[in-house]
Amino acid sequence: GAGVSQSPSNKVTEKGKDVELRCDPISGHTALYWYRQSLGQGLEFLIYFQGNSAPDKSGLPSDRFSAERTGGSVSTLTIQRTQQEDSAVYLCASSSARTANQPQHFGDGTRLSIL
C-alpha cells in the first residue's frame, strides 16, 4: 500500500476485555514503532521492531501490553484486561532503514475507548 495502514480505526470495548490492534507498515520498511497518544498529550513510545532483532519493549506500560511482528511485516498490539486509562489513540509508524536518517511515516491510528 501507499502508506501505513492501521485497523480498526475506532474500537470501543468494555473494561476487562482484550483488544488487538493491527498495523500494516509500508512495504519494505524494516523498522516499526507503536506509540500511544492520550488526549492533549504527546506521543508515548511503546515498542520498536527492527528486522529480526529483539524488539525494544522498554515503553510498554505494563505486562497487559504485548506486541508481535510476524514475518517482519504486519504487527499486532494486544492489550489484555483493558482498563479505562488505556483509552487513547494508538499510532503505528514505520521507517525504511536501520539507521537514524530515515523519518518515520505514521498511520492514522486506532482510537481506543474503554467503557
Partner 1 sequence: EDKVVQSPLSLVVHEGDTVTLNCSYEVTNFRSLLWYKQEKKAPTFLFMLTSSGIEKKSGRLSSILDKKELFSILNITATQTGDSAVYLCAVQPSTSGTYKYIFGTGTRLKVLA
3-state secondary structure (DSSP) of residue 67: strand
Residue in the structure block whose three cell numbers are 516499526: 32
Select from 20-28, 60-68, 80-88, 107-115 the region that touches partner 1 (CB under 8 A): 107-115
Among 32, 69, 94, 109, binds partner 1 (CB under 8 A): 109
Q: Going by DSSP bridges, is the β-strand pair 88-95/110-114 parallel, antiparallel, or unpaired?
A: antiparallel
| Binding residue (CB under 8 A) for partner 1 from 7, 76, 80, 106 | 106
Does residue 41 bind partner 1 (CB under 8 A)?
A: yes
Identity of residue 73: S
> Rounded distance, CA 81 to CA 97, Å?
35
Task: Say which amino acid occupies 58.
Answer: S
Under the criterion CB under 8 A, does residue 5 sit at the interface with partner 1? no
Q: Which stretch binds partner 1 (CB under 8 A): 10-18, 19-27, 38-46, 70-78?
A: 38-46
In Å, what is the CA distance from 53 to each residue of 11, 31, 105? 30, 10, 20
Position among 23, 32, 35, 75 found at the interface with partner 1 (CB under 8 A): 35
Residues contributing to the site for partner 1 (CB under 8 A): 3-4, 31, 33, 35, 40-45, 48, 50, 53, 56, 58-59, 91, 98-101, 103-109
